[in-house]
A and B are shown apart, each in its own frame.
Chain A
Amino acid sequence: MFQGPVAPANQIHDFHPPIADSGLYWVVPVPAGGLDVSGDGKTWTLQMKDVPIVDQPHWPALDAVATPARMSFKMAWKSTGEPAIYVDAAKQFRFTGTRASCQMEAQVEVPSIGFSWKSDPLDTSHADIAVMGEEVNGRYFS
């Protein structure tokens, strides 16, 4: 989040889960039922409530202090139908899918500093880049 124009000097909050001991980066498990895929497979909706995260306003500085926070959100991908295929044999991955739109609404709380924030409705947000599909990588790549 930025106060004013998007620039590192104007960053006032940065919300994400902690990096796992394994190095897995800002990834958390989704509870059963959190991901809904439409019958035709063209719309995926991800919803989670009160996800434990941290607020690191000075991210990516190594000494960026992390304050406990929580986040609830709803995110929706919708396929445009335009194919998107990414293959990199050297990095052992193959993605086969389509381009998509993606929108999100969210709210965050940082209880220790009395801060909370709620986004405008889902359809007011925008992502320049979005894809959805199937991927194989690592030992499943052939």
Chain B
Amino acid sequence: MCTRRRMLSSTARAAAAILLAPAIAESKPQAFQETQPTTANGGTGPYPIPWLDKNGSHNQPAGPNLEPSHIYHFKGRVARCSTFTGMGTDNRGNRIAFGAPTTDYGVMDGEYWAARSAQHGTFTHI
């Protein structure tokens, strides 16, 4: 049923829409004009190696016949190490060991592909 209250309400919404319509129509082109033209090629950060480890992460274990790099679409220098062990001391004088079979580090230095072009950089996995 179309009550008087409902009729007034819908009339008010229609009036508001008519009043706002020119503002909306004008604001869109203005917003586009203020946006500087840019490319849309994706970020320049490196891609991870696609394969997943047992934790569901893009983390490559270090070891014989395992890929040393953490960056995909890469060519360059790579160094890798794992199963690190060492000792240290905290600020309370406690002797605390660091390292475990999965403690690994790496460095990658060279060219990689991102944003549809060759990029250059040095990265470390720590």
Interface of B is mostly: strand
Q: Is there an interface contact between B78 and A132, defined as CB atoms closer than 8 Å?
A: yes
A116 to B88, CA, bound (A): 10
Residue of B nearest to A19 (CB): B57
Query: Is B65 at the interface (CB under 8 A from chain A)?
Result: yes
Query: Is B32 at the interface (CB under 8 A from chain A)?
Result: no
A89 to B91, CA, bound (A): 49
Given A24-B46, A29-B122, A130-B80, is A88 in contact with B67 using a C-beta cutoff of 8 Å?
Answer: yes
Given A24-B46, A125-B84, A140-B73, is A86 in contact with B124 using a C-beta cutoff of 8 Å?
Answer: no
Interface size in chain B (residues, C-beta < 8 A): 60
Q: Is there an interface contact between B86 and A129, defined as CB atoms closer than 8 Å?
A: no
The distance from the CB of A46 to the nearest CB of chain B, in whole angstroms, is 5
Q: Which residues of A contact B72 (CB under 8 A)?
A: 137-138
The distance from the CB of B46 to the nearest CB of chain A, in whole angstroms, is 6
Q: Which residues of B contact A104 (CB under 8 A)?
A: 84, 86, 105
A35 to B55, CA, bound (A): 30
Q: Is there an interface contact between A136 and B74, defined as CB atoms closer than 8 Å?
A: yes
B83: contacting residue among A2, A48, A129, CB under 8 A:
A129
Residue of B nearest to A17 (CB): B126
A13 to B9, CA, bound (A): 62
Q: Is there an interface contact between A124 and B86, defined as CB atoms closer than 8 Å?
A: yes
Q: Is there an interface contact between B78 and A135, defined as CB atoms closer than 8 Å?
A: yes
Q: Which residues of B contact A95 (CB under 8 A)?
A: 67-69, 78
Query: Is A9 at the interface (CB under 8 A from chain B)?
Result: no
Query: Is A66 at the interface (CB under 8 A from chain B)?
Result: no
Query: Which of B14-22, B23-31, B33-41, B92-100 makes up part of the contact surface?
Result: B92-100
A13 to B90, CA, bound (A): 12
Q: List 27 A-B contacts (CB under 8 A).
A: A1-B97, A22-B48, A23-B48, A24-B45, A24-B70, A26-B126, A27-B70, A29-B122, A30-B123, A37-B77, A44-B77, A46-B107, A77-B79, A86-B64, A91-B51, A102-B81, A102-B84, A104-B86, A117-B89, A117-B98, A120-B89, A128-B83, A129-B63, A129-B80, A135-B68, A138-B74, A140-B113
Closest 7 CB pairs of A and B: A125-B86, A102-B81, A138-B73, A128-B83, A130-B81, A119-B88, A132-B79
